[in-house]
Amino acid sequence: MPREGILVNNPVERLSSEQVRQIHKASMEILKDPGLLCFNKRAAEIFQSNGAGVASISGSDIPCWHVKIPEKLVADALDSAPKTVKLGARNPDNALVMKGNEARVYYITGSETNTWLDVDFSTYANKSDPTKEIKVPEFLPRRGTVADLCDSAHVCEHLETVDGYIRTVNIQDKDITEDNKDVNKFFACLNNTTKHVMSGLTSLKQLDNVVKMAELIAGSQDKLKENPIISFITCLVKSPLQFVDDTTETFMEICQRGLPVVVSSAPQAGTTAPMKEAGIIAQINAEVLAGITLGQLVNKGTPVLYGSVPVRARMDTLGDSYSAVETSQYNIDCVQMARFYKIPNYSTSGVCDTKIPGQQSSIERLFSDIVVTLSGPQYLHCAFGLLDGNSVFCLLQAVLDDTHFQRVKFFLKSPLINEQELTEIKKQIKDVVATPQKMFINYIRQVMRTGEISPPYPFESDDDSDNVFSLAYERLQELLAKPVEHIDPDTTARIFQDIPGLLPRLNVYQEGR
C-alpha cells in the first residue's frame, strides 16, 4: 500500500474553466511565437525531426536554435505522458502514487541549500533581577556536509508528515568533487530514509552510477522500474523560454532510462517572467509543456511531473520572494493547469524569506503551506526546514514544520456526517440534556484516543513562557536518537564495491562505525 497523503476533497481553484482554457491557448501561442531558444543541439534536432520549426541562430558564440513547437506535438506529448506516476521507496509502504486528476497531496522536503543552520541555546539573565533567566536559541550558519545530509534524511524518515525526501543540503565536504557528489548525495539519502528520494544531478557522468546504485538497492533493473526508489528533478528550461544545454542533455538521458523526472520551471515574476499573473502563468505553462513535449519525444511514456516553481520578485532586491502572497497564487494556478492536463504536479510552498526560525518564518511558511495544500498538488515540495529562500536549512525548523503539517492534514480530514452518525448524535444530545450537568464530557473520551480530536500544539509550555524552540530541540534530539533502517550489509558491500567515488565514512558497517 502506498502512503496515504492527504486527499483534498474540494480543491481551491483560482482560475475559472474559461481562464484555464485562455492560459492554455496563450501558452500554445507562446510556444509558436516567440517559441524557445534551444542551446542543446540534440534537443533541437529531435524537435526538428518531429515537425517543430527549428532554425539555427547565427552570429552567436554559443550554438543556439530557435524552436517553434506546434500545438499538435504538445497534444501528443500530453496524451502519452502517464496520468498516474508512482514514485517508489526502499520501504514499499512509503511509495507515492500520484494521479493527475486526483488532489491527493504528498509533502516533500528540499530543496538543496548551501548553508546548514546549527542551533545552540544561551541563557540570559534579567539585568534588574538576575534570578529571572531565559534560554534563547542562537543560530549558527555553516557550510553543509554529507554528515548533515545523513542527519537530515534520518530526521525526515521519522517526521510523520514527510512523505518523500528531496535532499535538503548541498554537500560541501573537502573530499566531495563534481565527480563524486551525485553518488554520495544519493547514497547518503537512500541509506538514511526508507522514503522516496528525489534529487537533481550535478554531473551527467554520474547518472549511470546513481541508477546502478538504485538498481542494487531495488534488486534489479526491472525491480527499479516497478519500484522507482529514486527520481530526478531537472530545470531544463531557463526562464524566459530557453532550453539550457547541460540540463536539457541530463533530462533527455534520464528520460531514455525511463525513470520519473520532474520538468521544472522557476520563473520570477518581474524579472524572468511578466509581473502580471496572466503573464507568468502563460509563460511557465509554456515552459513546462515544452519540457514535457521533449521528454515524450525522447521516450514516449516517460513518467513526468509538471514542475512549477513560480515566484514573485522582491521589490527591494529583485531576489526571490517566496513569501509574497502572489507566489502562492501562481503556484495554485499551476496546480490547476497541471490538473487540466491530468499530469501530476510538483508544486512549492513553505519557502520563507526570513533567515532564521521565528515568528516571521512560521507566518510566511504556514500561509503558503495552507493555501497551496488546499489547491491539491500531488507532490508538494513544501520546504521542510528551509529558510532565506532556498539558501539555508535548519533541522529545528523542519521539526516545527512537521507540526504545522499535522494540523493542515487534520484540517483536511473528510467530515464524518451521515445518517448513522446523526442518529447517534441526536441520541447523545437527548441523553445529555436530560442530565443535571448537561455536559458532553463522557462522550469526549470515546473519541479522544481514536485520532478524531486534533492534538494540542506539542511545544506548548506549562507556564506563560514561550519555550517552543527548546521543546522542539528536545524533540529533534529524540528523533536523531531513533534508529534508522539502513540499507542491508550485503547490498551496502555491493554498492561500495561497484560504485566508484563513495566516501568510506558513509559505510555504516565499516569496522569502528
Partner 1 sequence: MSEDLINMIKENVIQGRKTRDDIGIDESLSGTPGVVELTESALVNNISPEVIIAQALTAGMRVVGEKFSTKEYFIPDMLASADAVGAAMDILNPLLEASNVETKGKFVIATVKGDIHDIGKNIVAILLKGAGYEVNDLGIDVPEDKIVSVVREEQPDYLGLSALLTTTMVEMGVVIKALEENSLRDKVKVLIGGAAVSDDYAKEIGADAFCADGFQAIKVLEAFETA
Instruction: Give the footprint of partner 1 on this chain (CB under 8 A).
Output: 436-439, 441-442, 444-446, 448-449
| Nearest CB to partner 1, comparing residues 136 and 444 | 444
Cα–Cα distance measured from residue 11 to residue 105, given in angstroms and rounded to the nearest whole number: 11
Give how far Cα 478 sits from Cα of 84, 430, 459, Å: 37, 46, 14
Give how far Cα 295 sits from Cα of 47, 138, 266, 286, 429, Å: 11, 46, 18, 14, 60
Cα–Cα distance measured from residue 30 to residue 62, given in angstroms and rounded to the nearest whole number: 23
| Nearest CB to partner 1, comparing residues 422 and 448 | 448
| Nearest CB to partner 1, comparing residues 62 and 441 | 441
Shortest Cβ 442–partner 1 spacing (Å): 6
Report which of 346, 347, 357 is spatially closest to residue 392, judged by C-alpha positions.
357
Shortest Cβ 143–partner 1 spacing (Å): 40
Shortest Cβ 416–partner 1 spacing (Å): 18
Yes or no: say if 331 and 281 are a contact pair by the CB < 8 Å rule: no
Mention every residue, 6+ apart, whose C-beta is less than 8 A from residue 61. none
Burial of 101 (0-12, 13-18, 19+ CB in 10 A): middle
| Nearest CB to partner 1, comparing residues 456 and 512 | 456
Shortest Cβ 435–partner 1 spacing (Å): 10
| Nearest CB to partner 1, comparing residues 126 and 446 | 446
Half-sphere exposure of 81 (CA within 13 A, CB side): 32
Shortest Cβ 441–partner 1 spacing (Å): 5
Shortest Cβ 438–partner 1 spacing (Å): 8
| Nearest CB to partner 1, comparing residues 411 and 440 | 440
Note if the bond before 456 is cis, omega within 30 degrees. no
One-letter amino acid identity for 357?
A: P
| Nearest CB to partner 1, comparing residues 174 and 438 | 438
Q: Got the DSSP string for 298-318?
A: HSTT--EEEEE--EEEPTTT-
Cα–Cα distance measured from residue 157 to residue 453, given in angstroms and rounded to the nearest whole number: 25
How many residues make up the chain in this entry? Answer: 513
| Nearest CB to partner 1, comparing residues 124 and 457 | 457
Q: Quick one: how far is CA 183 from the chain centroid?
A: 20
Backbone angles phi, psi at 373, to 5 degrees: -55, -45
Shortest Cβ 509–partner 1 spacing (Å): 39
Shortest Cβ 159–partner 1 spacing (Å): 21
CA 474, 478, 479, 480 torsion-angle sign: positive
Yes or no: say if 252 and 43 are a contact pair by the CB < 8 Å rule: yes
| Nearest CB to partner 1, comparing residues 55 and 453 | 453
Q: Which residue has the cell 481551491?
A: 12
Three-class SS state of 96:
strand
Q: Quick one: how far is CA 339 from the chain centroid?
A: 17
| Nearest CB to partner 1, comparing residues 427 and 505 | 427
Assigned C-alpha cell, 368:
503558503
Shortest Cβ 437–partner 1 spacing (Å): 5
Shortest Cβ 455–partner 1 spacing (Å): 11
